[in-house]
């Protein structure tokens, strides 16, 4: 057992410490059993040359103890991510559960979560997750033809069957799960195929759609958040807006209240003016969603695991002091304070807030730096969703059920002709607005050379 490090004890809680925060633990660092082409984690191995990339047992104990101490309230989220966190083996997480029991205060509740590619799951894992009420996030990019474009194993082989096997195991054991779908240049053209597959075939009721934006710096590297060009795997800005809008139309016409799409839930909260959207990217400020590496290094955010954003190591300084450090406070406030004038004047800023700083690397039409690469897509989506969002927000404010929006919209759009004014009040013709034909491309029309070259790379 490694006993070389000190054990920081919390003697005085910093005055400005947040009562709660979200910390993603990466016990295997960036190590994964897959080799997804767009994965920004895999490259991060270079920051820890010679490392075994395994969180030690003493550090695990410090981590759990400090995380519990750092939370003022009774509710703590213990979140595992990677790389691939199941590579630590089940015993590691059994020990984590024992440590939670050791350090918990009376009355505390814990939400255990894990983001996994699902390919290494078996009955023992699923039974463990069920026993401890884990919420599992499964990474899946859509039906087979779309998923297997980029989500391949170390030998370049497709992974779809193994992921679905993992999903079915979770379902057999009654484990709660949601799906995380990265939206890239290929599946970005197939919104309804992706959504319907997740809803109808996977059986997911909670979905996250995360845009792939892979910056390339002047050395051709994607490790750092540098450079103003993106890889050809990255989703296009307008493409992402169309993707969200197409899924939104399907969701708002039939799935409100039964399917939860994180982006839509966050948007509705912002239309309601709730202050916190539930997604850091759509909040005015951030800084309470951090990441901890396998060796105890604490970073400002999972997307900024690079030396410039290292806050310190929990073996030398208590986690809550790092979370509330001036460096981290500034990191979170910069999200708001560095918005370009173009965003400050934007009519959907209340919903977008300039999204994530990691994507702010293009110029505004006036030539100011710091505009979000996905801006055109967000403008498209938030304008598109505005009519239904206002309706849902109005219903909720009057104490009614947001699901009532579905029959209201059905009545509003019934019998509208293509050349009529759109009932949403945009002033555009129906055919150019909510009556716009959505992409209905068949998956069989997937651009085969692109798919093959990705798999065979
Ligand atoms: S940098 Fe982006 S992902 Fe990280 S906490 Fe801020 S908004 Fe969230
Ligand atoms: S939609 Fe564009 S201009 Fe508006 S806040 Fe978002 S990034 Fe800024």
Question: Distance between CA atoms of 453 and 457, rounded to whole angstroms?
Answer: 6
Three-class secondary structure assignment of 404-422: HHHHHHHHHHCCCCCCCEC
Which pLDDT band holds residue 60 (cuts at 50, 70, 90)? very high
- The one catalytic residue in 74, 302, 368, 401 is 302
- Tokens in use for 228? 């103003």
Which ligand is closest to the CA of 340, given by its number? Answer: 2
User: To 5 degrees, how large is the angle CA 256–CA 252–CA 354?
Assistant: 100
Q: Is the pLDDT of residue 388 over 50?
A: yes
231-289 per-position pLDDT tens digit? 999 999 999 999 999 999 999 999 999 999 999 999 999 999 998 899 999 999 999 99
Q: Up-side HSE of residue 173: CA atoms within 13 Å toward CB?
A: 24
Distance 330 CA to ligand 2 centre (A): 21
* Model pLDDT, residue 52: 84
For ligand 2, atom 1: residue with the closest CA: 379
* Model pLDDT, residue 222: 61
* Model pLDDT, residue 448: 47
Q: Is the pLDDT of residue 204 over 60?
A: yes
Question: Distance between CA atoms of 303 and 289, rounded to whole angstroms?
Answer: 10
Mean pLDDT along residues 191-219: 94
For ligand 2, atom 8: residue with the closest CA: 343
pTM: 0.91
339-387 per-position pLDDT tens digit? 999 999 999 999 999 999 999 999 999 999 999 999 999 999 999 999 9
> DSSP of 123-175, one letter per residue?
HHHHHHHHHTTPEEEEE--SSHHHHHHH-BBTTS-B-HHHHHHHHHHHHHTT-
Distance 450 CA to ligand 2 centre (A): 31
The CB of 237 under 6 Å from ligand 2? The reply is no
Q: Is the pLDDT of residue 390 over 70?
A: yes
Paired strand residues for 210: 182
Mean pLDDT along residues 194-219: 93
For ligand 2, atom 2: residue with the closest CA: 375
409-434 per-position pLDDT tens digit? 999 999 999 999 999 888 889 988 88
Dmax (CA) for the chain in angstroms is 74
The CB of 352 under 6 Å from ligand 2? The reply is yes
The CB of 281 under 6 Å from ligand 1? The reply is yes
């Amino acid at each position: 057992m490694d006993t070389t490090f000190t054990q920081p004890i919390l003697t005085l809680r910093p005055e400005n410490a947040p009562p709660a925060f979200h910390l993603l633990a990466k016990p295997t660092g960036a190590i994964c059993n897959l080799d997804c082409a767009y994965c920004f984690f895999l490259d991060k191995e270079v920051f820890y040359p010679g490392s075994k990339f395994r969180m030690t047992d003493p550090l695990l104990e410090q981590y759990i103890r400090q995380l519990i101490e750092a939370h003022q309230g009774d509710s703590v989220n213990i979140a595992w991510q990677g790389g691939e966190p199941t590579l630590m083996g089940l015993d590691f997480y059994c020990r984590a559960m024992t440590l939670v029991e050791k350090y918990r205060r009376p009355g505390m509740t814990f939400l255990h979560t894990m983001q996994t590619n699902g390919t290494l799951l078996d009955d023992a894992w699923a039974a463990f997750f069920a026993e401890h009420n884990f919420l599992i996030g499964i990474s899946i990019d859509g039906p087979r033809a779309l998923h297997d474009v980029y989500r391949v194993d170390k030998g370049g082989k497709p992974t779809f069957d193994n992921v679905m096997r993992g999903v079915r195991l979770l379902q057999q054991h009654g484990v709660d799960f949601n799906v995380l779908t990265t939206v890239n240049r290929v599946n970005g053209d197939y919104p309804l195929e992706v959504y319907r597959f997740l809803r109808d075939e996977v059986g997911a009721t909670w979905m996250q759609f995360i845009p792939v934006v892979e910056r390339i710096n002047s050395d051709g590297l994607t490790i750092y958040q540098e450079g103003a060009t993106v890889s050809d795997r990255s989703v296009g800005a307008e493409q992402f807006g169309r993707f969200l809008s197409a899924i939104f139309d399907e969701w708002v016409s039939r799935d409100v209240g039964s399917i939860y799409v994180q982006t839509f839930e966050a948007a509705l909260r912002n239309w309601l003016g709730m202050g916190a959207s539930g997604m850091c990217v759509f909040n005015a400020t951030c800084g309470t969603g951090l990441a901890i590496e396998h060796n105890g290094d604490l970073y400002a955010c999972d997307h900024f695991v690079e030396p410039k954003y290292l806050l310190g190591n929990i073996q030398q300084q208590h986690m809550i002091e790092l979370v509330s450090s001036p460096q981290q406070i500034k990191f979170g406030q910069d999200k708001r304070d560095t918005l370009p004038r173009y965003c400050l004047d934007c009519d959907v800023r209340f919903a977008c807030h300039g999204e994530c700083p990691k994507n702010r690397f293009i110029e505004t039409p006036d030539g100011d730096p710091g505009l979000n690469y996905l801006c055109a897509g967000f403008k498209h989506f938030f304008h598109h969703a505005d009519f239904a969002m206002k309706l849902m927000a109005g219903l909720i404010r009057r104490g009614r059920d947001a699901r009532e929006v579905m029959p209201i919209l059905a009545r509003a759009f019934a019998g509208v002709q293509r050349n009529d004014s759109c009932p949403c009040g945009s002033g555009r013709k129906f055919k150019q607005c909510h009556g716009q034909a959505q992409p209905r491309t068949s998956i069989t029309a997937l651009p085969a050379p692109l798919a093959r070259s990705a798999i065979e790379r």
